[in-house]
Amino acid sequence: MNKVKSVLFVAGVLLALVFTLSCSGGGGGDGNESCSVVQSDAPSLGGIFENPEDAPWWFSPEAIKDIKKGGANELFKPGNVVELLPVPKHITYLDTIKAYYPGSVGILFDIADRLGQNLKKFVQDKCLTEDYKSKCKVNGKDLTESNIDELAPGAISINASAFYHTNAYRNTFSVKCTDQIFKNWSGTGDCILNAYNYYLAWDLKDNCGKFVKAGTYKSTGNFYVTIEYIDASGNHKSETLVQDKYTTMLEVRYK
């Protein structure tokens, strides 16, 4: 009986320790089990800048105006430890990207060209009859090769999820291709016309808002781009244009 009590006592201590650490992160937390407030519908917008004008040069005037309106120059919306951010496709080095998006580590999805090619292939294979008539509707209009740039962006979503061992994560969230953050510096275009790649950024915090300790963290997740359409039978359909499931290691360092 004493042995059983001892085992139960040890198990209870371990369970209490796991519960206490569940929201502590590497940098320590308040142990509040309800501290995770990930907002799956919050859009990505903003930047960690001394002034909103210091935002990346590709940000649209409206995006910068929204940063000013928010009153806080933060890259991550409240409750979001992860954001999906645009990067012009000619910028391919993570160190350069992190200079534009400071206070983060992350993964670059170099898919701008692939997305454009797969979108065109989707229209050719799924949306056109032998005599080149459309079988797909987007926003009530026939989708064809000649109007891809006009119609497709309004039906495209960029989706992602991320988990950082052990207690920072964001469940699957979506950003519309036509969102303000995907317009260019002149306030025009979208994620397709501006040929963006995507930086899945982590703000180095756990889901309690505490900075994690310096070190190497395992990151897993999913990134995919979809288009919604209505087929010839009137059915609502979704096609995945690009998908990358990933597992990688991220290095967190502090100056």
pTM to 2 decimals? 0.78
d(CA 156, CA 161): 17
| pLDDT tens-digit map of 170-181 | 999 999 999 888
| pLDDT tens-digit map of 144-166 | 999 999 999 999 999 999 999 87
| pLDDT tens-digit map of 37-47 | 333 333 333 34
| 184: nearest Cα among 174, 175, 196 | 196
d(CA 183, CA 195): 10
CB 214 within 8 A of CB 254: yes
- Asked if residue 218 has pLDDT above 90, the reply is yes
| 148: nearest Cα among 171, 117, 174, 170 | 117
Domain count, the chain: 1
d(CA 94, CA 91): 8
Query: What integer pLDDT is reported at residue 99 of this predicted model?
Result: 81
Domain that holds residue 23: 2-252
d(CA 217, CA 219): 6
Mean of per-residue pLDDT scores for the chain: 78
Range in 49-63, 64-78, 241-255 the model is least confident about: 64-78
- Asked if residue 22 has pLDDT above 60, the reply is no
In this structure, what are the phi and psi dihedrals at residue 64, rounded to the nearest 5 degrees? -65, -35
d(CA 31, CA 235): 47
Task: Reduce the DSSP state of residue 193 to 3 states and report it.
Answer: coil
Query: What integer pLDDT is reported at residue 78 of this predicted model?
Result: 72
**Alpha-carbon Rg for the chain in angstroms:** 22
pLDDT over 90 percentage in the chain: 47
Which range scores top for mean pLDDT: 20-29, 41-50, 75-84? 75-84
Region 41-60 average pLDDT: 58
Query: What integer pLDDT is reported at residue 73 of this predicted model?
Result: 46
